[in-house]
């Protein structure tokens, strides 16, 4: 057998940090990142990644150390994503919506050696740092020319650092990313991702999503989330696609950016697509350049899907399904099957094998088509495991498959239908109710803009089905109307027992509806109705 020497390993390296350099050799003068008034060509992106990588090393970080990043979308975020990987440092993106205690937990659990923070978030960062020893602290300055606080360095000095980074061999299975999942428990889990996981996932996303170097993509969902960062931005840099960054998915800003930059490609969860459709500027916006649309986080309601195809007939749509631990893409439903297989998450992605197994965990033998069980995967996309949690890692990889925690079934054509998260399945009166099925029924009401369905504790039925409904602008709707409509299309036990009408649903910055918060907010519904 041939011995793989360090020289051979170096010559064969294909890691996350290599991508800007290789793309710069193909498209040196092409715009890579556009962030407001800042525009970086691929040659300029590669050069600033080199400078930042050299500065990170000069600050004392070495391969395997962790650097936490707390920031809204900006070109500096993209640079640090690749700069850390180039020198083998593990990037820990932090949700900017978290409170100080939650950030402190991530800093401590990840053993962060450095913390880079956007200046607008320094106050919460300093509260999180109280009592923690993080030796390197840098500020990304976006808001103005205020002096940098004591104890912090100006991250701009990293992007202007002179010198080249050290040559670091980053192997396929060396970790380059530590992503903290929102999870269903009191503390998030840290999923370690390797260059191999990300690179194979990039290839899957690019092929299944018909990505092209001549695309222009608009990125509005937070880059701390793996969907925007690794299903879209990472593959864009790999292929040579131009990326336009916005700090968030404000509908007016999105519509203006599509027109200004002639955007061809856009990803958003269904809630953001719904927001665009309801925006007063939608019909007058120039969206003629838009060719490809992607959604994920939850299935697109069928009525909304039909509306998108009616109002944007030239836009081809994809549904991407996955999770952080899969880096994150697992399955995809393409444009030709959007309506004929509406609600499906599609077939296993290029580099993924998916099956349905016994949800009780007793076996990983595949269940027959149509039978609901747990969704499991085998793929190089998969996480290396949960950081400092051997028990949960072993549980997730039982029998040599990654267990998603989602319930679903496959049809005869191998298309996946996600029924629910295990935690979101409502058990009422001895029957299982999938929240998604009830939501689809409520969405067929013409006055409904958004709906979330979940279960709350009930003294007789164990759990009762609850629907929280947002009416369309200018419309009104009563709980009795929702219940009557649901009863006309659903079995009696699936019909919501309680309906709450609200102005908006709680969402995270990725646009995902926060059902856990809704369950907490409405946990006493049964008691309240009993008293009334």
Q: What is the pLDDT of residues 89-136, one digit of tens each?
A: 999 999 998 889 889 999 999 999 999 999 999 999 999 999 899 999
How many residues comprise the chain? 532
**pLDDT tens by residue, 410-445:** 999 999 999 876 667 787 876 778 788 899 889 999
Structural domain that includes position 324:
196-422
**pLDDT tens by residue, 200-258:** 999 999 999 999 999 999 999 999 999 999 999 999 999 999 999 999 999 999 999 99
**pLDDT tens by residue, 383-403:** 999 999 999 999 999 999 999
- The pLDDT of residue 184 is 40
Q: How many CA atoms lie within 13 A of 13 on its CB side?
A: 24
- Is the domain of 343 the same as that of 278? yes
Is 146 inside any structural domain?
no
Which contacts qualify for 522-531: CB closer than 8 Å, 24 or more apart? 522/456, 522/466, 522/468, 522/498, 523/456, 523/457, 525/456, 525/464, 525/466, 525/498, 525/500, 526/456, 526/457, 526/458, 526/459, 526/464, 526/498, 529/498, 530/459
- Is the domain of 418 the same as that of 442? no
Give how far the C-alpha of residue 322 lies from the chain's centroid of Cα atoms, to the nearest Å: 9
- pTM of the entire predicted model: 0.84
Domain containing 503 — which CATH number?
Answer: 3.30.300.30
Written as six digits, the tokens of 105 are 């937990």
| % of the chain beyond a pLDDT of 90 | 79
- Is the domain of 370 the same as that of 444? no
From 365, 390, 422, the end of a domain falls on 422
- Is the domain of 380 the same as that of 414? yes
- The pLDDT of residue 301 is 84
> Which H or E run includes 464?
strand 462-471
- Is the domain of 500 the same as that of 441? yes
**pLDDT tens by residue, 16-74:** 999 999 999 999 999 999 999 999 999 999 999 999 999 999 999 999 999 999 999 99
**pLDDT tens by residue, 161-186:** 999 999 999 999 999 999 998 644 45
- Is the domain of 370 the same as that of 228? yes
How does residue 512 score in pLDDT terms, banded at 50, 70 and 90? Answer: confident
Q: How far is 350 from 396, CA to CA, in rounded Å?
A: 22
Q: Count of domains in the chain?
A: 2
């Amino acid at each position: 057998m041939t011995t793989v020497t360090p020289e051979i390993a170096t010559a064969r390296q294909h890691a996350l940090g290599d991508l800007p350099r290789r793309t710069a050799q193909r498209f040196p003068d092409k715009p890579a990142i556009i962030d407001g008034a800042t525009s970086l060509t691929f040659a300029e992106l590669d050069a600033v990644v080199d400078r930042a990588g050299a500065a990170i090393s000069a600050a004392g970080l070495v391969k395997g150390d962790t650097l936490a990043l707390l920031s809204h979308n900006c070109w500096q975020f993209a640079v640090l994503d690749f700069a850390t990987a180039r020198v083998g440092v593990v990037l820990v993106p932090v949700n900017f919506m978290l409170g100080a205690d939650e950030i402190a937990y991530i800093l401590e659990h990840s053993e962060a050696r450095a913390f880079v923070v956007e200046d607008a978030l320094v106050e919460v960062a300093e509260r999180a740092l109280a009592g923690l020893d993080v030796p390197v602290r840098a500020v990304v300055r976006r808001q103005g020319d205020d002096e940098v606080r004591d104890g912090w360095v100006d991250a701009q000095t990293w992007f202007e650092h002179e010198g080249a980074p050290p040559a670091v061999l980053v192997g396929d299975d060396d970790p380059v990313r530590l992503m903290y999942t929102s999870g269903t428990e009191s503390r998030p889990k840290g999923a370690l991702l390797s260059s191999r996981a990300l690179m194979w996932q990039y290839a899957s996303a690019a092929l299944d999503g018909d990505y092209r170097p001549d695309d222009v993509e608009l990125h509005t969902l937070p880059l701390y989330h793996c969907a925007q960062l690794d299903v879209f931005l990472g593959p864009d840099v790999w292929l040579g696609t131009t990326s336009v960054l916005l700090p968030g998915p404000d509908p007016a800003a999105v519509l203006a950016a599509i027109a200004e930059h002639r955007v061809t490609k856009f990803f958003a969860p269904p809630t953001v697509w719904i927001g665009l459709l309801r925006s007063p500027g939608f019909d007058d916006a120039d969206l003629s350049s838009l060719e490809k649309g992607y959604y994920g986080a939850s299935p697109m309601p069928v009525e909304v899907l039909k509306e998108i195809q009616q109002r944007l007939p030239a836009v081809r749509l994809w549904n991407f399904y996955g999770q952080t631990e899969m880096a994150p893409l697992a399955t995809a439903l393409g444009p030709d099957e959007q309506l004929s297989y509406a609600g499906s998450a599609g077939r296993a992605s290029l580099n993924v094998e998916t099956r349905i197994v016994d949800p009780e965990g007793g076996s990983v033998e595949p269940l027959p088509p149509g039978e609901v069980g747990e969704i499991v995967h085998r793929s190089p996309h998969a996480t290396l495991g949960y950081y400092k949690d051997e028990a949960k890692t072993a549980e997730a990889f039982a029998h040599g498959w990654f267990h998603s925690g989602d319930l679903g079934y496959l049809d005869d054509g191998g298309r996946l239908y996600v029924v629910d998260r295990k935690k979101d399945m409502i058990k009422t009166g001895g029957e299982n109710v999938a929240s998604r099925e009830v939501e689809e029924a409520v969405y067929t009401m013409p006055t409904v803009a958004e709906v979330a369905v979940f279960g709350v504790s009930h003294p007789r039925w164990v759990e009762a089905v609850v629907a929280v409904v947002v009416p369309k602008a200018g419309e009104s709707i009563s709980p009795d109307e929702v219940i009557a409509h649901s009863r006309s299309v659903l079995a009696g036990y699936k019909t919501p027992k309680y309906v709450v009408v609200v102005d908006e649903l709680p969402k995270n910055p990725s646009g995902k509806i926060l059902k856990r918060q809704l369950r907490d907010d409405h946990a006493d519904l049964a008691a309240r109705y009993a008293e009334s």
